Amino acid sequence: MKFSWLSLSIIACALQITVAAEDGYRLWLRYEPLPGQTIKTYLPHVTSVVASGDSATLEAIRTELIMGCAGMLGNSLPVSKDVDRDGALVAGTPENSPLIAELRWQKSLIGLGAEGFLIRSVKLKGRSVTVIASSGEIGALYGAFHFLRLMQTLQPIDRLDVSQKPRLKLRVLNHWDNLNGSIERGYAGRSLWNWNELPETVDPRLRDYARANASLGINGSVINNVNANSQSLSTEYLRKAAAIAGVFRPYGVRIFLSARFSAPMELGGLKTADPFDPQVATWWKKKADEIYRIIPDFGGFLVKANSEGQPGPRTYNRNHVDGANMLAAALAPHNGIVMWRAFVYDMKPDYDRAGAAYENLQPFDGKFAANVLLQIKNGPIDFQPREPFHPLFGAMPKTQLMPELQITQEYLGFSNHLVYLAPMWREFLDSDTHAKGPGSTVTKIVDGSLDKQKLTGIAGVANTGSDRNWTGHHFAQANWYAFGRLAWDADLPSEAIAEEWVKMTLTCDPEACSALVRLMLESHEALVDYMTPLGLHHIMWGGHHYGPAPWWDKEKRDDWNPIYYHRADERGLGFDRTKTGSNSVMQYHAPVRDRFANVTTCPEKFLVWFHHVPWDFRMRSGRIMWDELALHYQRGVEWVRSARKQWDAMSGVIDLERHAEVAKKLVIQERDAIHWRDSVLLYFQTFSKRPLPEGVEKPQMTLEEYQAKSLTW
Ligand code: GCV
């Protein structure tokens, strides 16, 4: 087997990077030298690569295994056609590898699908070898990454019997990238797609992006903003997109586009975008045909319709189903799909935004076409630091639902705050909707096991950008990682994911690793403490959403203003969503709704989400609500201080560059946490008229000073 120049240069590059500064570019695929004892035990099991086949994916498999072993073990694996020694790594499919075909695993492999894989230590041709097999090349690539991950995390590799397949079919990143290179809610630089230079020049970095996604099993990328520009569907931009798709393809990442509903008017010169107009339907059909001519494995459309000013079917007095199904019909002949977003909330007098998506969409259960998925944010408002699960999960058993998570930290301190999001996503996935009795978790709804949903998926709003370290904050890489791992296996514990990531990305030192994992696991609760404890939500500064502004009332829509959400007055705090208020708690199934609706049984983390609670309400701790609220803010600040100390103490374990960069961000995080605590408490104090309880520090500035200027990032 010969090596192409491409793979040689990739390996050379990787080896060079190993000695260069540690800037975070390599993400969790660093392949740093393992501890000496581990190398000794691994070496006999990793002696050559047998992965025949000329496809770009097989080339990627060989390259990755060789590069990984060179970095971790310091050996240079020969590529061989046959098994001629113990320790060979045999990778591929029964179609391209006679060796794998010989094993007669076809039945199990077919059961695992083209993305699933087996990794087994077996005897082949009288030799002890490791086989990484799948019925599809992409599955074999995923298996190769899994094998490398076992090594990166110091797992035994001598008696392997691993069998995996993804539970969800679509595991996609949504990029809110604009054609001018900016990213809506992006905090890690500019867009990775160099539209001006495409299709002639494709940034080599795109391959690394695809490779990182493949290492997690992410198999789709929506490359443009849901606040879409019709131009992305023009022939010129489709050719550019095709060049990107060409780089992603060997890594199993298909591309999707956000489609602007009014594109037939803007691109096609039609007078309407009414989905019932035959000319409109024909325009979309022709557009779909053209897209598939240019990008044969195109995934489909993501659509934000009739939401925040975007056009949609309701502009023409049609409904969401009319719009989604018209697009679905255009894509169906090509096996394309539509991800129709449920993020719709029309402002009506006295309405509750938290109940709006349910009101708008639940009545259409069972009406969407077979190739439509309804993409629903995890919570009913908008990617807040903490929300109860969206009531649509469990309310549409005859509709294919997929969650939309936000990896980018729009409301969670941008790329300045260290916050590990897996625990937040776990809380959501583990939520029991009780839709079909106890145990009807969100996971079971979205993986299709509860309602026999055929097409399944999950999306994460990406946090990547042109910053050298991809995500702005080194720890924000962990959120990209965790999203991918949960998309692959929605049951993975947050702790296990954090441990993998720390070992692969930062350090295998056992003490440092467990301290870092603990820090990561605590970080989300701490951020909720200093931002929005007890169910507070959407009290961020208007527009940019960085820092607090609970007093904010300047947005043109009521439901974009913090005062709409917290409803503080002299009696108390919180949005009454029970029958004395909006009653949107009724959108949940019993007994969830009963638990939420009763102020004494409502989980305290959602207290002021569902109730307007008196300042002197007695909490489970025995303290009054005001004191408890203040102590949460104080606790959040203290956590950041302790995180800083712990991080500082790790200066000998983490490389200098990343250590210094994270330390700098933690200084900002502490500044911000104090700002949150002081400004929010000073403001609510104007209603509660109570002193700060013992243990809460005196504010550093006056309320007027906090109100005068937002935090900068
Ligand atoms: C892409 C929130 C964000 C918007 C975003 C919107 C959405 O409102 O602030 O930037 O737009 O959600 O998810 O469509």
**For residue 248, what are its two tokens?**
């992603």
**pLDDT digits over 235-263, tens only?**
999 999 999 999 999 999 999 999 999 99
* Number of continuous H segments (helices) and E segments (strands) in the chain: 23, 15
Cα 380 to ligand 1 centroid, rounded to whole Å? 13
**pLDDT digits over 295-319, tens only?**
999 999 999 999 999 999 999 999 9
160 pLDDT band, cuts 50/70/90, is: very high
> For residues 614 and 591, what is the distance between their CA atoms, to the nearest angstrom?
25
> What is the model's pLDDT at position 348?
78
* Mean pLDDT, residues 179-204: 98
**For residue 522, what are its two tokens?**
């605590």
152 pLDDT band, cuts 50/70/90, is: very high
Residue 9 has pLDDT above 50, yes or no: no
Which residues does a 6 A CB cutoff place in the pocket of ligand 1? Answer: 176, 184-185, 226-227, 304, 308, 343, 382
Shortest-distance atom of ligand 1 to CA 461: 13
**For residue 209, what are its two tokens?**
């992006």
> What is the model's pLDDT at position 689?
98
Cα 224 to ligand 1 centroid, rounded to whole Å? 13
> For residues 124 and 103, what is the distance between their CA atoms, to the nearest angstrom?
8
Secondary structure of 190-227 as H, E, C letters: CCCCCCCCCCCCCCCHHHHHHHHHHHHCCCEEECCCCC
Cα 655 to ligand 1 centroid, rounded to whole Å? 36
Shortest-distance atom of ligand 1 to CA 307: 14
- Closest CA to ligand 1's atom 8: 382
> What is the model's pLDDT at position 38?
98
pTM as predicted:
0.97
Residues with a catalytic annotation lie at 308, 382, 410
Residue with the two structure tokens 């209603």:
687
Q: Which of 327, 352, 356, 357 is nearest to 339 (CA)?
A: 327
% of the chain with per-residue pLDDT over 70:
97
Residue whose CB lies within 8 A of the most ligand 1 atoms, among 173, 176, 545, for a mutation test: 176
Shortest-distance atom of ligand 1 to CA 185: 10
Cα 304 to ligand 1 centroid, rounded to whole Å? 10
> For residues 478 and 520, what is the distance between their CA atoms, to the nearest angstrom?
9
Residue whose CB lies within 8 A of the most ligand 1 atoms, among 224, 229, 308, 410, for a mutation test: 308
> What is the model's pLDDT at position 13?
44
Residue whose CB lies within 8 A of the most ligand 1 atoms, among 382, 540, 544, for a mutation test: 382
Cα 320 to ligand 1 centroid, rounded to whole Å? 19
Cis peptide before 614 (omega within 30 of 0): no
Cα 307 to ligand 1 centroid, rounded to whole Å? 9
> For residues 399 and 321, what is the distance between their CA atoms, to the nearest angstrom?
11
